Structure 1
Amino acid sequence: MTEAANAPEGLVIEGRYRIVRKIAEGGMATVYQAVDERLDRTVAIKIMHTQLAQGPHRDQFVERFRREAKSAAAIANPHIVQVYDTGEYQGLDYLVMEYVHGVNLRHEMNVQHTFSVRETLRIVSETLDGLSAAHRVGVVHRDIKPENILLNDRGHVQITDFGLAKAASQATLSSTGMLLGTAAYLAPEMIEHNQATPQGDLYSVGITAWEMLAGVVPFTSDNPVTLVFKHVHEDVPSLLGPCPDIDPAVARFVAHLTARAVDARPADASEALRELRELSATLPIPSWQYRRQDDAAADTPVGSPAIAPLPAPPAPPTAGETAQAAADETSAAVPADSAPADAPAGIAEAQAAAQPPAPTQTLPAAAQTRVMPQQAAGPTDAATRMMPAVGRSGESTQVIGAQDGAPADDAADNAVEAPDVSDGATAPRRKRRRAVVIAVVAAVLVVAAAVGGAGLWWYFRGPGSYWTLPQPTDVTCAENEACPVTNADWSEYESTLKVAGIPYTVKEDYSDTVAEGDIIATSPANVGDHVSKRNDESVTVTVSRGVRQATIPDDILDPTSDAGKDPISALRSAGFDNVTHDEADDEYSLTVPEGAALSVSPDPGTTLDHNAEVVVTLSKGPMPVTMPTVVGLTQDEAESALSALNLAANVSEEYSDSVAQGEVISASANEGDELHWGDSVDLVVSRGPQMASVPNVVGQSRDSAVQQLEQLGFSVKTEGLFDGNGILGLVQQQSATGSTRLRDTSGNPTVITLTIV
């Protein structure tokens, strides 16, 4: 096979996979339907292009092809196309994958054009579920797009092309046709920094969802360079533009997935799936049924007003923001040099902030007019205003200095007599004029001192001396009540602090109530609290590490280990706070000593929340039992009776003239004694009466015969016609011969009678 794309139907690879037909061709490989003749099942086989396998970077592509094949095969999830096998045939690497009966999402998008919220969120949910399995094993797809989201014949999602996008995009980046198919879904960080992240997959999912709901991708261009430029430098427009009637919560979720900054998106697919499930639990039924019907806008470029993003309503400013806004507005109207030359930095802004703020409403550039704040009159203005008007001869006085609209009485109070120039009294007039100028200058200095004092207060003690702790976007504050910064998402609040320029330090702690990554507490604690700028103060933020974890010791069921000897103390030392032990559930044990653990649930080695319940069952040791009656029983009967009580029998045997052979003569424990499982009892079992072989002593002398029989243990009795001193003194006959009991049932020696002649 010299060219994968031209592989003939019926070709068998490795004696196993028979090519049926060509399914699709991509930038890196061609996909065929094939039959696995060994397992008799339909599969899809993907074969690398010849130009890649024979090109100068062959080793690089082959290595990535194989490595990513292993990564994809490690993912077990019903929403991932499974990889069965990999190999090489005639110099071309191939993958054998699950064959999916169905179509890809692009086909459905071409047919339906737009989707309902219900259809969209279902497909997004299954896609995120598949990606979460990949992200958990460290695999990033890198090329999520409608062409790689398959819909099987049951309508469920199965994601394909894991791991190939990165190699393919590097190999064919100059191919405009291929790049246009992918660039519409690429995350900004992948375009700008070639950085593949789980959040990049989420961005692609979000763009896909945007297109399903709006009927068009948010950025379109005939030039791929322009298209990728938009992804890097422009925010994805809100769905409320093309879909004004869609539920804002759905639009916010898609916006969260498609945020331009990596850190502004969910951490991975599992987090995004959790967020989607929370959204689904609160979404009303009408919102599920929404579907955009205005097909005319589908061809409208995103830059047009038809789908321009709607501006979000501004949040109410905090006290610090209001003061800053006033300073920003008035600083443009008050010259910086109005502050004393030796004033600290910020005094000019402080003076400006001390003035009434200008209106903050923004008008079109051509019609903007700044309303200047009323200023204290300078020396020149004051002198000009207080100069008398030159009247005709005979007009000796004139009322001046009254402001427009001022009451006549006020004007009269500020009246200055103007001498008649015709009287020749020039010197007095000059003196009065000089006095007026001096008075005005003094007034200006007083005003400047007041303004300067206000500036110093603003800078050192007022709003210029501190930051105001801002309110998190995900925390609701009740009016006239303290509003602690807790349960807020730290990643979002950190951005707020950075934007506000507020220094902060972070520490982490475990929390049973605050989710991992959220804020447990801050110091200062409440929204609106002040953080001094003058004493190197900063906000201390305690971020939750989630619920503290603990691990059940592996050796807790080993009674010889330290943990096994005192399991409850061992669990508490391991960090568990909810250890349950019910003495009523404890059991006797033949092998586990008293106080050791019989069972622990969950199993040893399990890691779980420290406050999760751990149930322990302890051993009560060997069970007490009562010694049964065994004397007089046969050996088998006695051993069975002891075994039923988990008692062990140690058996020895003795001759007994009174106890039949095989019966128990005695035991080491008396009937009724208290014993425990595992105790041993010594049993003495009868061997029956002791026997001896009586020799034939007929013909022997009396004394010799008696001595021989007595040495064997018998008792000897003699009788005859003559006593022992008879002429012969020989044994004529004996009462017993052969095997004879040594003792009778009373334990006395058996008597043997000898007849002497």
Structure 2
Amino acid sequence: MSEEPYASDSPTIEGQVIEGRYRIVRKIADGGMASVFEAVDERLSRHVALKMMHMQLIQGNHREQFIERFHREARSSASIANPHIVQVYDTGTYQGVGFLVMEYVHGVNLRHEMNQRGTFKVHESLRILSETLDGLASAHAAGVVHRDVKPENIMINSRGHVQLTDFGLAKVASQATLSTTGMLLGTAAYLAPEMIEFNQATMQGDVYACGIIAYEMLTGTVPFVGENPVTVIFKHVHSDIPPLSETCPGIDSAVSAFIARLTSRRVEDRPRNAQEALDELHGLNGLLSLDASQFQMPAQLGHRRTDAPTSKAVHETHPPFPSSQTEGQPPSNHGENIAQTNMTQTHMTPTHMMPNSQDLETRRLTPPDGSDAAGPSEAANLKGTDSKGIGTKGVDPKDVGPKDAARETKTLRPRRRLGLIACIVGILFALGIAGGSAWWYFLGPGSYSSLPAPTDVSCKASQECSVSGASWSRYRSVLKASGIAFTQSEEFSDSVPKGSIISARPETVGAHISKRGGAVSLVISKGVRQATIPTDILDPSTTHGKAPLDALKAAGFSKVMHDEAKDEYSVDIPENAAISIDPEPGTTMDHNAEIEIVLSKGPKPVSMPNIVGATKDSARHQLAEAKLNVTFSEDWSDTVASGKVISSSKEAGAQLHWGDAVSVVISKGPQMVTLPDVRGKNEDDASKILKALGLDVKISAPLGDITQTVRLQSPDPGAQIRIRDTSGNPTVVTLTVV
């Protein structure tokens, strides 16, 4: 694919592959500094958010400052490991433009939730505050000050948990100031007084911003609003934040005191960092009752302020990495709504012309005597005109006779009635038109749009037609052309192809969608979810290897084929560890594809063979067949011939397992000794020498034992004799003395 020159608004950026790895899917949002795209890391098969600087920034006078800020975001985020901070995976340049590769967060930012809900319960506000402080605590521990904590930079993911993003303004605490390249950074509503007054960004400043956000969640508005950011900044420096106990009557005093501590004007009165604030919050949670934690400011009091000015950053900041994105109606719809409003106001105007009973009574001008007569205004008219329309100027009413006056009165009365009837009819007609228009635009066909049919789904006339299964790229164009607002989210699907609609609400073609805030909600297929077989699953020393079935389930596989009948005994692989797996470890595939795995049953049970009296070679062979680990030793035996087994450490028939250790003693035969010559020695000395060799001595004195000197010995000196006989008794040597 040829690479087009990059531009943040260029349609050709979608589909391009950055650094041969990141394929651009779509643009998510535009900010003041960069555009954010959804991309796929084709090397690791995962969705990421790719943040790319605007071209005009790197071509401007402050090019170096912007590039440094961009790289600082990468360094700051990458140096902090915390589940409540969006992680940065990679950084690089593309056609001279810097980019970051970040974690893709499925969700919306806190500003969106605030606009939707108005106010939050105490326990919800404190949970979001707790997770935000937890993320900041890791940043502060690393010596990093965020400097731009605000609802737009607090993501709420699909699991409802906080992930803090946009560390583009973050700096090492010792170097952090408020301004860079002459521009005021941060958002006015959340800036701490010392940041404004002394140009010094501190950890306490991040804590202050968190307190303002909590205040806004609980009350529905920031504490200070003004016509412009300068007014708001002035209030932060010179005014204390109003206590929650005043703006939220009924809120627990401990909550009010905690928020007041976070938002104190004096730096020394606030917690020193996010960790200290988090510790105090944990202590507060333990004190709150159930009723106190469920407190929420009533909707009529806690409506979100819409007159508060917002900085440019607020308008330009969008949810950085949402998986769902709301798209509003096109300009033509807004114009239509305005026209409808104007028409309604025009038609409703005649209702203000309806005379009340007092007006009608005054117009009747009935005299006190009850007769119908002209009132003072009518007398004035009579002064200038006679009953036939002939001018009577200069004629005084008193000169008109009673008959003439009565005749004139009778002539004028029907005219007045006709005029009054005509007025009432006109009013009722106008009311009918206005009411009909109001019904048309507020209740009738003009108040809603009908869900259009997809162009690629066949619908039978006799059956309801669903948009499920339609191509989202095509149907999106149909919705935009119809001026229908929509929200989209993505899910994996085993049955609906990637890029097609899984479901919609409403789902039936022709369903009504209100033109005032209504939208169709669609779920788009991401295709079959992919999963990867752990690379270490065959290593029984690892966590995955010790419990391979659990590891495959945790990896997301739903069709693991394990037949216990095919499991095998193994000498060296522990029981329940994997012997083999197909496909091989490290393979990435559909989560519902089949995986075959064979597990180990551990060492096989065996019986100890009877090897006593067998030759050494025979014993070795029998033990090898039983896959037992044998060690041999030797000893003298008066009963077992040399080279045969005297004994073993395990008795014959004992239940063992493959690999068990067995010790075997091999006979060296009877112990022998060379008989020494003790002739000529004293009887006692000769006996001691022979007994020291383990022999027994028998003294024979046929001629008497006068000299006690050994004259003869049997066996003869130098003979090889056994020390013990086959019964284990010492061999007897006979000494003859004279």
Please say whether Structure 1 and Structure 2 have the same fold, judged by a TM-score greater than 0.5.
Answer: no
Higher relative contact order (CA 8 A, sep 6+): 2
